[in-house]
């Protein structure tokens, strides 16, 4: 028995992480692949028997995992973003949620033929969207403008509010007072908000108090933060059922927006933990589906799903964004993105069992209908949202633009040549004279400290996908790469090699996690590039052909020439690094950008 449990738990982790990695490789929505993998492992093949594996622990485990995911989501919410979409976000999680609930309940009543109680319950469950599905889609699409901000905030805030609504509807159904439900639901919502806000604030203040006095060593801070999340969740739930999710969400928001202690390392810890939990949860819940659930999949279900996509969501968006200054393209994009995620699946599974035990015959339909909704919406939005964002000019499929840290003469020359090739470049510098000179030369330049928290929010990063730290200060370069790795990912942050440090030696290996990818050549540090440029070197663009390839270029310019970038005919930029032989990727019909020696 113990061996079967061990194999089952290991299989959940393997399938959860493996499906996410495969989805990344295939450029597919991770949630879709996780659901399909869970269904194959559970009802189709019978490899996983979740109820036997976890028994009565399954829902407490799921609840605690969702608490961690929502806390991590709260840590990503900056109050400064509300300037762009604050009124719309507020309406989306209040008026928009109400519209979604009403329309979904009516569709469930008259299309799926559920009785009024189960229809209202299904409508409450499907109010939520959630960061587990919105987050991966936004990372893939990277929409510009207020629509991306609104979606991120809605996805995180709507989960605890939607769960609270579901709990209150459930209680109203059990006591048989559906006619008095609106009043009791409103009072219950206020009580839940109060309990969640109180415990969340106390949890955030307690964690700040402990961290600010350095009572916790660095290696334990992520674990202590997890302890605080568990305590806040359990404490809020004791005060008010299902207030725990709201408390941890507000706790995360409070920590993300305070200025007393650094929480970035906690954010990184929670991000890694959330990825593990999301994969495991979707495998668990999808594997719990019974094979008999497929018999409920018919034309009525498709009509119901179309009502959610084509009526409920657009109506909620247009009412919520009325007179808010949102452009038409932002409204269209918001109207076409409302996938349901792990919270809907967990809540449906939990309350369906409780309602069935209470004697409600149609309660067994809730979980299948919710899972059909999750699969349909994730597949539909996951496959169409990115093309729609590109059509609406809200995102680019593979942003090739660059941020160059440092607006000195060499970087300005590099930026000029890149711009001539159609590549968007932003120069970032805290030297006002350098920034002013760059702007006079017609370049995009931003005045600010690369290490400041607000610099990422202030810059328009539309079309920008990578950062190159190219100042004369090696420590600033490393810190800039570390600071922007959260925005662009570690794969897309670069820095010049450190003078006098061989990146292959032991010292170089010791600090790899604290630096970006090393640019150009191991000897191409700032001092060498600056010296070459001042002695008459120039940044030039060379069109490579079959008769004049990269080897011919090296023969012509000698070993002193430093290849920097290669741009192909569709605007794809290859950055030369020390990690691989980038020259293997450079062929005919590409433009080679280099720093070549010249006459003084």
pLDDT digits 0-9 by tens, 439-481: 888 888 888 777 766 676 667 677 778 888 888 888 888 888 8
* Surface-to-core class of residue 496, CB atoms within 10 Å of its CB (0-12 exposed, 13-18 middle, 19+ buried): buried
Would you list the domain boundaries of the chain?
2-391, 401-596
Query: Which stretch of 10-24, 417-431, 570-584 has the lowest confidence by average pLDDT?
Result: 570-584
Please give the average per-residue pLDDT across 358-379, as a whole number.
Answer: 84
Please give the average per-residue pLDDT across 159-176, as a whole number.
Answer: 77
The closest alpha carbon to 35, from 473, 442, 339, belongs to 339
The closest alpha carbon to 37, from 54, 50, 19, 53, belongs to 19
> Which CATH number applies to 2-391?
1.20.1530.20
pLDDT for the residue numbered 506: 44
Q: Is the Cβ–Cβ distance between 266 and 218 less than 8 Å? A: no
- At 182, the pLDDT band (50, 70, 90 cuts) reads low
Q: Of 9-13, 54-58, 310-314, 417-421, which has the strongest mean pLDDT?
A: 310-314
Tokens of 299: 């034309």
- At 507, the pLDDT band (50, 70, 90 cuts) reads very low
Strand 538-543 vs strand 591-596: parallel, antiparallel, or unpaired?
antiparallel
pLDDT for the residue numbered 189: 67
CATH class entry, domain 401-596: alpha beta
pLDDT for the residue numbered 542: 81
Query: Residue 565 pLDDT more than 80?
Result: yes
Please give the average per-residue pLDDT across 43-58, as a whole number.
Answer: 78
Q: Is the Cβ–Cβ distance between 175 and 145 less than 8 Å? A: no
E strand or H helix at 54, and its extent? helix 50-54
For helices 366-391 and 30-39, give the axis angle rounded to 10 degrees. 150
Q: Which residue has the higher pLDDT, 264 or 49?
A: 49
Q: Of 13-22, 153-162, 269-278, 391-400, which has the strongest mean pLDDT?
A: 13-22
Q: How far apart are CA 355 and CA 417, in angstroms?
A: 67
pLDDT tens by residue, 226-285: 888 889 888 888 887 767 878 888 888 888 888 888 777 777 677 777 778 888 888 887
Residue whose tokens read 């006002």: 432
Please give the average per-residue pLDDT across 505-534, as a whole number.
Answer: 70
DSSP codes joined into one string, 298-364: SHHHHHHHHHIIIIIHHHHHHHHTTTTT--HHHHHHHHT-----HHHHHHHHHHHHHHHHTT-GGGG
Query: Residue 344 pLDDT more than 60?
Result: yes
Please give the average per-residue pLDDT across 27-54, as a whole number.
Answer: 79
- At 410, the pLDDT band (50, 70, 90 cuts) reads confident
Q: How far apart are CA 206 and CA 212, in angstroms?
A: 10
Q: Which residue has the higher pLDDT, 317 or 76?
A: 317
Query: Residue 107 pLDDT more than 90?
Result: yes
Query: Residue 509 pLDDT more than 60?
Result: no
Query: Which stretch of 227-236, 388-397, 509-518 has the lowest confidence by average pLDDT?
Result: 509-518
- At 503, the pLDDT band (50, 70, 90 cuts) reads very low
Strand 493-495 vs strand 517-518: parallel, antiparallel, or unpaired?
parallel
The closest alpha carbon to 427, from 400, 455, 447, belongs to 447
Please give the average per-residue pLDDT across 311-316, as a whole number.
Answer: 92
3-state secondary structure of 565: strand
pLDDT for the residue numbered 508: 46
Q: Is the Cβ–Cβ distance between 387 and 452 less than 8 Å? A: no
- At 361, the pLDDT band (50, 70, 90 cuts) reads confident
pLDDT for the residue numbered 149: 79
Is the overall model pTM greater than 0.75, yes or no? no
pLDDT tens by residue, 539-558: 888 887 777 777 777 777 77
Query: Residue 106 pLDDT more than 90?
Result: yes
Q: Which residue has the higher pLDDT, 128 or 296?
A: 128
Please, what sign has the CA dihedral across residues 239, 240, 246, 248? positive
Query: Residue 7 pLDDT more than 90?
Result: no
**Mean pLDDT (the chain, rounded):** 80
Query: Residue 304 pLDDT more than 90?
Result: yes
């Amino acid at each position: 028995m113990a061996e079967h449990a061990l194999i089952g738990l290991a299989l959940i982790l393997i399938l959860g992480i493996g499906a996410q990695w495969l989805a990344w490789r295939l450029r597919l929505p991770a949630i879709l692949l996780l659901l399909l993998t869970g269904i194959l492992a559970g009802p189709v093949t019978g490899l996983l028997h979740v109820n036997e594996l976890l028994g009565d622990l399954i829902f407490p485990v799921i609840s605690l995992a969702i608490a961690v995911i929502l806390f991590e989501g709260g840590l990503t919410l900056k109050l400064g973003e509300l300037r762009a979409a604050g009124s719309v976000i507020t309406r989306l999680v209040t008026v928009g949620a109400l519209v979604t609930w009403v329309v979904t309940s009516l569709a469930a009543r008259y299309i799926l033929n559920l009785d009024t109680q189960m229809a209202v319950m299904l409508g409450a469950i499907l109010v939520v969207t959630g960061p587990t599905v919105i987050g991966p889609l936004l990372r893939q699409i990277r929409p510009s403008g207020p629509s991306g901000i609104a979606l991120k905030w809605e996805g995180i805030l709507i989960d605890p509010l939607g769960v609270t609504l579901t709990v209150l509807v459930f209680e109203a159904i059990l006591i048989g007072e559906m006619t008095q439900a609106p009043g009791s639901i409103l009072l219950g919502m206020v009580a839940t908000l109060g309990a969640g806000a109180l415990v969340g604030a106390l949890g955030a203040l307690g964690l700040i108090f402990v961290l600010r006095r350095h009572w916790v060593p660095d290696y334990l801070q992520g674990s202590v933060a997890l302890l605080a999340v568990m305590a806040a969740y359990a404490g809020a739930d004791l005060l008010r059922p299902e207030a725990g999710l709201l408390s941890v969400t507000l706790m995360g928001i409070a920590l993300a927006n305070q200025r007393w202690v650094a929480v970035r390392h906690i954010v990184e810890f929670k991000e890694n933990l959330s990825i593990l939990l999301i994969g495991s949860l979707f495998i668990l819940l999808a594997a719990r589906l019974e094979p008999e659930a497929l018999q409920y999949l018919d034309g009525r279900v498709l009509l119901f799903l179309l009502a959610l996509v084509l009526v409920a969501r657009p109506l909620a968006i247009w009412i919520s964004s009325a007179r808010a200054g949102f452009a038409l393209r932002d409204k269209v994009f918001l109207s076409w993105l409302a996938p349901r995620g792990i919270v809907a699946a967990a809540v449906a599974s939990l309350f369906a069992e409780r309602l069935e035990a209470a004697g409600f015959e149609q309660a067994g339909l809730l979980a299948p209908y919710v899972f059909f909704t999750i699969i349909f919406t994730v597949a539909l939005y996951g496959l169409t949202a990115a093309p729609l964002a590109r059509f609406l000019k809200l995102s680019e499929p593979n942003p090739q633009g660059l941020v160059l840290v440092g607006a000195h003469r060499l970087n300005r020359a590099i930026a000029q040549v890149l711009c001539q090739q159609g590549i968007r470049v932003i120069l970032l510098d805290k030297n006002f004279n350098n920034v002013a000179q760059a702007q006079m030369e017609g370049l995009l330049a931003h005045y600010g400290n690369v290490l400041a928290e607000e610099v990422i929010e202030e810059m328009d990063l539309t079309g920008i996908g990578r950062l190159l730290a190219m100042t004369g200060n090696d420590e600033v370069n490393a810190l800039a790469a570390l600071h922007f790795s959260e925005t662009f990912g570690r794969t897309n942050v670069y820095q010049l090699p450190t003078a006098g440090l061989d990146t292959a030696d032991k010292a170089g290996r010791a600090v790899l996690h604290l630096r970006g990818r090393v640019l150009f050549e191991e000897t191409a540090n700032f001092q060498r590039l600056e010296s070459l440029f001042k002695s008459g070197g120039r940044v030039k663009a060379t069109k490579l052909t079959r008769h004049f390839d990269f080897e011919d270029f090296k023969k012509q310019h000698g070993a002193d020439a430093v290849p920097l970038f290669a741009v192909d005919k569709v605007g794809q930029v290859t950055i030369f690094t020390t990690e691989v032989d980038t020259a293997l990727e450079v062929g005919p019909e590409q433009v080679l950008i280099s720093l070549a020696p010249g006459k003084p």
